[in-house]
Structures are given as C-alpha cells and as structure tokens.
Amino acid sequence: MNKILEVRNLSKIYGPGCPQCLDSTGPESDTNLCPHCRSVVAIHGVSFDLFEGEILGVMGESGSGKSTVVKALYFDQAPSGGEAIFYDSPANAPEGKHDKQHNLFALNSAQQRWLRNHRFGMVYQNPNLGLNFNISAGGNIAERLLMSDLMDYGAIRERAKALLERTEVLLSRVDDLPKDFSGGMQQRVQIAKALATQPPLLFLDEVTTGLDLSVQARILDLILEIQQELKTAMVVVTHDLGVIRLLTGRAIVMKYGRVIETGLTDQILEDPQHAYTQRLVASAL
Amino acid sequence: MNAMNHTTTAYNFGFLDEYAKKEVRRAILKAIAIPGYQVPYASREMPMGRGFGTGGLQLTLSLIGPDEVVKIIDQGSDDSVNAVNLRQFIEMTCPGISTTTRTTECTLIQSRHRIPERPLTATQIIILQVPYPDPLVVVEPSEDKRKTMHGEADYSRLLVKLYEDIVKFDEITISHRYPTRINGHYVIDPSPIPRWDVPKLHDSAALILFGAGREKKIYAVPPHTKAEPLAFSDVPFRVEDFRDAAGQRRACARCGSKDSFLDEFVSDSGSKTYQCSDSDWCDGQLLRAAQAQGEPA
C-alpha cells in the first residue's frame, strides 16, 4: 500500500504562547488553555499516516482539536508547527514538475491553492462553509472545475450533472440555489463538489452531524460507495462512534489537543486502553 | 520654480500642483510596467464630485503639455454635458492647449463609456474614466482577499458568473465592464465600455490608461498587449450584433454606417431609431458621403 499523507508533530496554538504552554495543557492537566499566558493549545504533537484508499477516523469530544487537524491540512488555518507530506501519484504531478512529494506547509500560497483545488477535497459540517449559497448547485460544482482549469462550458455542465446524479441529487434541481435545499441534499451537493476533480484525498468534517438518522445512513452509504469506487483516501472527523465504526479502518482518539490513543478501529472500540476512550466507548453503549 | 512662472491665474498649469502630477505619472509608469495591475495612487480632490470623471481628469491633467490636442468624449459624444464641462475646465486651467472633436487630430483622448470607432494610432493616448476598477468586487467583498486573488490569477469565481449567465439566459449577459485578461495574467474591469469596444483593447497601437478617482486606482493596457475577454472554450466572446428581427444589420439613421456601435432612441410614438454612438465617426461618414457626391467619379 502506498502512503498518501504523512503528518508529524502538527501543532496549532492560538495566542502568544509561552514556554510552559505545552507542559501545562493536555489530557493530564485536563485543559487546553495555558494558565500562564492564556493561549489555547488547540493541537500539539499530532502525527499519523494515511494510505491510499484508506479511511482514518479522528474522534474526540468538542474542542479536542479534531477539526483543527483537517483545517490545517486543507490550508484553512496555518499550523504553528509540525509538517505534513502529501505523496501525489507521479502521473498527477503538476506540469513541469517530476516531484510527487509535497511538503504541505513549506509550499507558497499559490502552490497550496493548486493542491487544494486539484488534489484535495473537503466536506464541512456546515454546508455554508463549503458551498456558495448565492450560486446554483451546478455553479458550485462548476466553480471547483473552473479552479482546476477546465474551460469548456459543455464539459463542465456534463460533469456537474454526472456528479449530482452520482450523489443522488435530483437533476431537475441542478440550477436551483443550495439554500433552498434540505440539509441532507446540501451535504450531498457538498460531497459532489468535493469529488468534482476526483481528488485522491478527501477530508470529511462531521458530515452527518445534525442530519436525521435515515439521511445520515444514506450519506454514509454514499461515502463508502465512493471510497470503493474511486479508492479515495479519507480523513473522517466525527464525535459519533457509529460513524467511526461504520466507515473507518483505523482511528485516532484526541483529547485536549493531544492524541491519546491510536489503532485499528475495532480494537479501539472493543478494547479501549486509555481511560478517556474507555469512558467514551462506555457512554456510547 | 516652474510652477510659479506659469501662473497667470491663481492656479498652476493643469490645475494640479507639480508634485501631484509627478505622483500620478509615477503610478502611470508602474501601471504600464505591470499591464492590468491596479496601482493605488493619492487621488486628489477635484472641483467636481467624485464619479464625474475625476480619475480620468487627473490623468489627463498630469500628462497634458502646452502643445497637446485634447478630445473629450462622453458616451461617444463630444457635446454631452459632462464632456463639455470637462473640456471647458481643461481649456480654463491649461492655457495654450487646443481641443478638438476629431479623433484623427487629437493626441490625448479622455473618454467615458466609449473607445472611438476609428482605430487609434501610436501617437495617441486614450484615458478612460473608471467607476469600479476591480472586476472581482462582484464576487468578493474583501479587498485584502481580492488582492491575493489577483496575485494568484484566481479568477474562477468570475467564470462561475459567466456559467450562471449561460445557464439562466443561454448566453453571457454582461453588456459593459466585461472582465478582460491583460497580458495573460491580471483581469481588469475595462470601465463601462460596451462589449463592442473590448476587442479594441487587444493589440492596440495607442496607450490605454484607466483612472478611477473615487477608488484611487490607475491601470493600463500598454500598446500591442494581449487583451482577452473571459469566455469558455466552447462559448466564445461575442460583441453586440445590432440585427433586427429579420436578421439584417441595422444602419445608422443619420449616416447609414453599418459597422459602428449604435445607440437606440425611442420616440414619443414608440418607434425606435438607431444612430452612431460615436458622433465624430458619424460626422466623418456624412462628410465623406458629401465629398463623394460633390466629385462624381
């Protein structure tokens, strides 16, 4: 199996930061707020690998830093430290470059934007962040295709329709505004948009939170089908253990910005080692 | 000082003081060096409201010399109120210069909404008055983000607007201010010129300058520079075609020209007539027709 993403010691601190920050925060200190300088240590020392076609789960309670991890990797927020290397397949290396490795946080903003538009996809919990509500569903997908330099109207239209059909959005609504859609449908449009460029790496941030159970089940089915079809690697952020169990092969558990447990999903859910994970699993059952 | 010697009235030649002119000229040079880039400058207070062509006027007054022949156009016409007032102001503050309505005779043109029909020459400069310099303002309210988007040539959201237009109306409905990519990078808002005039930006012999007084920006399309209107590969850019219901190209009711941009006039009875928007072009056509009649072959 080929490695697609390697994350090492990722950290993000909001605030001035001080030498005592790291020692006085984390699961042992039971806080992520440094008592000395009032900085928030959102994540620190997060490391993991992701392989081609694999789904990795990131779980933890609210404020544990799980969303910050994917936001940093998708360039929404610059991290304070650490590195991440994305291994692109050589066939997809940018024009004029033979290098298929990208050291994500060493790239300039134009290169980061290129990767974000061409090689990554993101589905946010809130469709507001991932979709432009003032342009049609088809236009949202067109935007992503135009970002990746497809300039043919006919081809864009075809692709947008095919993607919406794949994600089970009624084709008669392709030219309607997403704000007139139901929550589940908005989420499906977001998934279609994220998939538009067939990215090898997809970030899913709490995609099913706030949806009713039957809609949740259909979205999860869709994600699994896509993973089977396109062999897309995914990082799934959720606090829902059911989603973790259904989708992911491996998982990491976070608390107060640190990774406290990592391993195969079954292992973590059946035989949790860390006291917090044990509580988490017990409370879900 | 130069400024003192010129002063027969209370004002410096060209109304602006020499330092102000120098600053505008520097911004112009930078704009020419980076085609399509919006150069910020300290737009001065002019004795007229912002939005009445203060940007274009400051460029004109900074570039004008005693031998200049100036033409002022508003909506293609030399005789509309705005053009007449600007011309009088320039005549008043720049003693010794001459003004004209003839495109062939002028060295400097200040214009609102039109580029003359007659191709300009390498010895001419056209200055366009610009209300909204940034084409991205319709898709991104933050100027900070717009600057990044310009820097990275990230114009996909403008293209999405074109996409939405085609979806809704089967064609691109932008009538003026058509976003145009200059020299393969920056996309400009070419001031409210109609689509008809956009191809004239491409490979122009004359220097084309844009001045936005309220927004405090100057940008340029240098001579013989590539200017491509944004479009899809399978839905190309097209200009107004002025065809009537029968598919015939309408002609100017006054001079009969069939290859100029036409204005539509609706009479009280509801009937429509069409006439050249460029009044100098229309007069020229009439003159040539009269000469041809006077000297039969």
* Interface residues from chain B to A (CB-CB < 8 Å): 148, 151-152, 154, 156-157, 159-160, 163-164, 166-168, 232-235
* One domain for residues B83 and B197: yes
* One domain for residues B21 and B101: yes
Task: Indicate the pTM of the whole model.
Answer: 0.84
| Residue B205 to residue B116: CA distance in whole angstroms | 13
* One domain for residues B122 and B245: no
CA angle A249, A255, A257 (to 5 degrees): 105
Which amino acid is it at A212?
D
Joined tokens for residue B82:
């705005």
* One domain for residues B55 and B119: yes
| Residue A260 to residue A274: CA distance in whole angstroms | 7
Residues in A closer than 8 angstroms to B159, CB to CB, are 142, 146, 151
The pLDDT profile of chain B, 297 residues, written as one tens digit per residue, is 444 454 455 789 999 999 999 999 999 999 999 999 999 999 999 998 888 999 999 999 999 999 899 999 999 999 999 999 999 999 999 999 999 999 999 999 999 999 999 999 999 999 999 999 999 999 999 999 999 999 988 899 999 999 999 999 988 888 899 999 999 999 999 989 999 999 999 999 999 999 999 999 999 999 999 999 999 999 999 999 899 889 899 999 999 999 999 999 998 898 999 999 999 999 999 999 899 887 654
Which amino acid is it at A171?
L
Buried b (16+ CB within 10 A) or exposed e, A246-270: bbbebbbbbbbbbbbbbbebeebbe
| Residue B267 to residue A223: CA distance in whole angstroms | 63
Question: Residue for token digits 């099913």?
Answer: A208
| Residue B70 to residue B118: CA distance in whole angstroms | 16
Provide the domain limits for residue B268: 241-297
Residue of B nearest to A109 (CA): B152
Residue in B287, B88, B110, B106 with CA at minimum distance from that of residue B213: B110
| Residue B100 to residue B107: CA distance in whole angstroms | 10
Number of structural domains found in chain B = 2
* One domain for residues B113 and B213: yes
HSE-CB at A128 with a 13 A cutoff on CA atoms is 1
To the nearest whole Å, the CA of A139 is away from the closest chain B CA by 6
Q: Taking a C-beta distance cutoff of 8 angstroms, is the pair B125, B209 a contact?
A: yes
Q: Taking a C-beta distance cutoff of 8 angstroms, is the pair A151, A211 a contact?
A: no
* One domain for residues B183 and B292: no
pLDDT tier, A285 (very low <50, low <70, confident <90, very high otherwise): low
CATH class, domain A3-119+199-284, is: alpha beta
Residue A185's alpha-carbon distances to A172, A194, A208, A216, A234, in angstroms, are: 13, 14, 12, 11, 21
Q: What is the pLDDT of residues B41-80, one digit of tens each?
A: 999 999 988 889 999 999 999 999 998 999 999 999 999 9
Q: What is the pLDDT of residues A93-118, one digit of tens each?
A: 556 555 578 899 999 888 898 899 88
Mind telling me the catalytic residues of B? 36, 252, 255, 276, 282
Q: Enumerate residues 6+ apart whose C-beta is below 8 A from B157.
A: A143, B136, B139, B140, B149
- Pairing label, strands B98-99, B69-74: parallel
**CA torsion, ordered B14, B17, B22, B24, to nearest 10 deg:** -70
* One domain for residues B52 and B129: yes
Q: What is the pLDDT of residues A252-261, one digit of tens each?
A: 999 999 999 9
* One domain for residues B201 and B75: yes
- Dihedrals phi, psi of B263, to nearest 5 degrees: -95, 145
What is the pLDDT at residue B1? Answer: 44
Residues in B closer than 8 angstroms to A135, CB to CB, are 160, 164
* One domain for residues B32 and B70: yes
Mean of all residue pLDDT scores within chain A: 89
pLDDT tier, A22 (very low <50, low <70, confident <90, very high otherwise): confident
What is the pLDDT at residue A253? Answer: 93
Q: Taking a C-beta distance cutoff of 8 angstroms, is the pair A232, A199 a contact?
A: yes
Instruction: Give me the residue spans of the domains in chain A.
Output: 3-119+199-284
Q: Taking a C-beta distance cutoff of 8 angstroms, is the pair A195, A163 a contact?
A: yes
What is the pLDDT at residue B7? Answer: 46
CB pairs under 8 A between A and B: 48
To the nearest whole Å, the CA of B156 is away from the closest chain A CA by 5
* One domain for residues B24 and B97: yes
| Residue B222 to residue B228: CA distance in whole angstroms | 14
Contact A152 B168 (CB under 8 A): no
Q: Residue B108 carries which DSSP code?
A: E
The whole-number average pLDDT for the span A42-64 is 91
| Residue B132 to residue B62: CA distance in whole angstroms | 21
What is the pLDDT at residue A230? Answer: 87
Residue B91's alpha-carbon distances to B64, B94, B115, B221, in angstroms, are: 11, 5, 22, 27
**CA torsion, ordered B231, B232, B234, B238, to nearest 10 deg:** -10
Q: What is the CATH number of the domain that holds B221?
A: 3.40.50.11310
| Residue A282 to residue A276: CA distance in whole angstroms | 10
To the nearest whole Å, the CA of B174 is away from the closest chain A CA by 17
pLDDT tier, A7 (very low <50, low <70, confident <90, very high otherwise): very high
| Residue A40 to residue A123: CA distance in whole angstroms | 25
* One domain for residues B18 and B67: yes
What is the pLDDT at residue B110? Answer: 96
DSSP string, A50-95: EETT-EEEEEE-TTSSHHHHHHHHTTSS--SEEEEEEE--GGGSPT
